[in-house]
Structure 1
Amino acid sequence: MDLGITGKRALITGGDSGIGWHTARLLLDEGATVVLSDLDQGTLEESAARLQAPEGRLFAFAADVTSLESLAALRSNVEQSVGEIDILVQSAGITGAQGFFHEIDDEGWTHTLEVDLMGPVRVVSTFLPHLRNGGWGRIVLLASEDGVQPYDDEIPYCSAKAGVLALMKGLSRTYAKEGLLTNCVSPAFIHTPMTDAMMVKRSAQEDLSFDQAVETFLSDKRPYMAIKRRGEPDEVASVIAYLVSDRASFVNGANYRVDAGAVASI
């Protein structure tokens, strides 16, 4: 299927692995030019090399989404390498502080919200002038099932992702008339380095093998996931690729859940 994004320029944060990396691969296949960003330049360049993109179609610049100064430097690098972007995929995020509410201190809350809520706010703010310029633009923010179905042992993350959903809805109402469409994708328990780390921690705490940790997490913590496995990053990336395409020209302000049924409500 031709997604109509040949020649479009995309920035993907959180792009060195997982959902961001797989999204980059799909957008490159569809003819887009891609800029990958993440915290570590060395890791980022290794990840970019694995994509084996044609020369001049893929760039990698490290940036910290919690720093406006760092994001301003990223914008300068983007402008010098590809010009203004047409597509923004904000995938950078962390699990953040975990535990029951009474076990999480102010620093845990602040750090989680700085990365998972204010990070997207800062990234959008930094690149919004690009996205408003061409009369055609796409923003996809990575939220989570946790944003609409909170869990008691990761309330800061859940709160941040609920905020991302509200941010998306507000942006969608403000800028659609200019041709800039904004949507969210909300995954659940995807096979990424972040959930790998969660399962390593669970296996140590519960004295389980890694596979047993995954299996018991699904049964104990995610009982509504009717497809009893972790999702794959490319299964999320496929939905993102659709949302940033011309095929999604009438989709705005939507939250696409890629969660195997994890959210119990309609």
Structure 2
Amino acid sequence: MDFGLADKTALVTGGAGRIGSEDCRVLADEGAAVVVLDVDTDAAAAVADEIESNGGDAITAECDLTDREAVRETVETVREATGGVDILVNNAAFVDAAAQVGEFDDDVWDRDVAVNLTGAYNITKEVFPAMCERGWGRVISMSSMAGLQGGFGQASYSATKAALIGLGKTLALEGAQHGVTSNVIVPNIVVDEFADLSGEELEAVNPMYERIRQATPMKELGREEDVSFMVAYLASQQARYVTGQAVGVTGGVDLFSF
């Protein structure tokens, strides 16, 4: 199926990370010109080089999403280079904090709110009006099961990922009459090649992974491509009537099972 992305430009924040880089690859495979945005310029360049070596079209952009002036300048540079952003994937986030609220590091809270939530707001604010003016656009934000159900010891991550759902639905309302959709993906944990391990092997790598696998009705953990294929669909022409949704990619972990 042709997703109709051959004349579109997709900007992926956190584009050098595990999920972000796979988003870039899949979108490029579908014909989009990809902007790999990340603070890690070397890793972003490696992703872009890989895409181009496989016949795709990619450039890099370095930007601190918490710096509004830098975001404005970066979006303008991207606009000059590509003609404008048609697809925005809000993927950049920190997910390394683990402490209960009473012991949570205030600086980590502030950092995560600044990057995970305000960073997404900052760059969306710069590209969303132009999408509405052109009459076509896609905003896809990455939440998490922790954003729906909470996460023990993950106060900042859970709170920011929950807030992205509210932001995504608001954008859907504001863009609905302008051909712009906004959706939020809610994935289970994705673990790349660890998803191929047996339960015993996974337990040895990380006991939490095995507990999550056991709690997942499909009895397997997700892979980055499971998320990225959903990104490509939501970016497509075929998804024009899908907006304001929090779409689970979970293996059923959010279902009540016994």
Give the corresponding residue for 2:231. 240
Give the corresponding residue for 1:224. 215
Aligned partners of 1:66 and 1:5: how far apart in 2? Answer: 29
Q: Go from structure 1 to structure 2 and tell me whether the alpha carbon gap of 1:183 and 1:213 turns closer, same or farther (over 3 Å shift).
A: farther
Structure 1 length as normaliser, TM-score? 0.87
Q: Go from structure 1 to structure 2 and tell me whether the alpha carbon gap of 1:130 and 1:56 turns closer, same or farther (over 3 Å shift).
A: farther
Give the corresponding residue for 1:10. 10
The Cα shift of 1:154 comes to 0.7
Out of 164-173 and 106-115, give the one that drifted further.
Answer: 106-115
Give the corresponding residue for 1:181. 181
Aligned partners of 1:214 and 1:75: how far apart in 2? Answer: 40
Give the corresponding residue for 1:205. none
Give the corresponding residue for 1:24. 24
The Cα shift of 1:108 comes to 2.0
The equivalent position to 1:252 in structure 2, one of 216, 222, 243, is 243
Q: Is 2:213–2:219's contact at 8 Å kept on the other side of the alignment?
A: no
Q: Go from structure 1 to structure 2 and tell me whether the alpha carbon gap of 1:118 and 1:61 turns closer, same or farther (over 3 Å shift).
A: same
Aligned partners of 2:231 and 2:103: how far apart in 1? Answer: 35
Aligned partners of 1:105 and 1:45: how far apart in 2? Answer: 33
Give the aligned CA root-mean-square deviation in angstroms.
Answer: 2.4
Structure 2 length as normaliser, TM-score? 0.90
Aligned partners of 1:17 and 1:106: how far apart in 2? Answer: 25
Aligned partners of 2:256 and 2:8: how far apart in 1? Answer: 36
The Cα shift of 1:215 comes to 5.5
In structure 1, give the amino acid aligned to 2:202.
D
- SS for the counterpart of 1:256 is strand
Q: Go from structure 1 to structure 2 and tell me whether the alpha carbon gap of 1:22 and 1:114 turns closer, same or farther (over 3 Å shift).
A: same
- SS for the counterpart of 1:112 is helix
In structure 2, give the amino acid aligned to 1:247.
Q
The Cα shift of 1:265 comes to 5.2
Aligned partners of 1:61 and 1:74: how far apart in 2? Answer: 7
Hey, which bits of structure 1, 4+ residues long, moved more than 4 A? 53-56
Aligned partners of 2:205 and 2:219: how far apart in 1? Answer: 10
The Cα shift of 1:127 comes to 1.4
- SS for the counterpart of 2:6 is coil
- SS for the counterpart of 1:261 is coil
The Cα shift of 1:132 comes to 1.6
Matched residue pairs, number? 253
Q: Go from structure 1 to structure 2 and tell me whether the alpha carbon gap of 1:192 and 1:66 turns closer, same or farther (over 3 Å shift).
A: farther
Gap regions ≥5 residues in structure 2: 195-199
1:47-66 CA distance string (max 9 Å, x none): 21122357882111111111
The Cα shift of 1:246 comes to 0.5
Question: Pairwise mapping of residues 60-71 of structure 1 onto structure 2 (< 5 A)?
Answer: 60-71=60-71
Aligned partners of 1:66 and 1:236: how far apart in 2? Answer: 25
Give the corresponding residue for 2:139. 139
Aligned partners of 2:155 and 2:139: how far apart in 1? Answer: 26
The Cα shift of 1:129 comes to 2.6
Q: Is 2:36–2:58's contact at 8 Å kept on the other side of the alignment?
A: yes
The Cα shift of 1:223 comes to 4.7
Gap regions ≥5 residues in structure 1: 196-208
Q: Is 1:218–1:229's contact at 8 Å kept on the other side of the alignment?
A: no
Same amino acid, percent of matched pairs: 29
The Cα shift of 1:96 comes to 4.3
Give the corresponding residue for 1:127. 127
Do structure 1's residue 49 and structure 2's residue 37 form an aligned pair?
no
Q: Is 2:213–2:221's contact at 8 Å kept on the other side of the alignment?
A: no
Aligned partners of 1:214 and 1:255: how far apart in 2? Answer: 31
- SS for the counterpart of 1:152 is coil
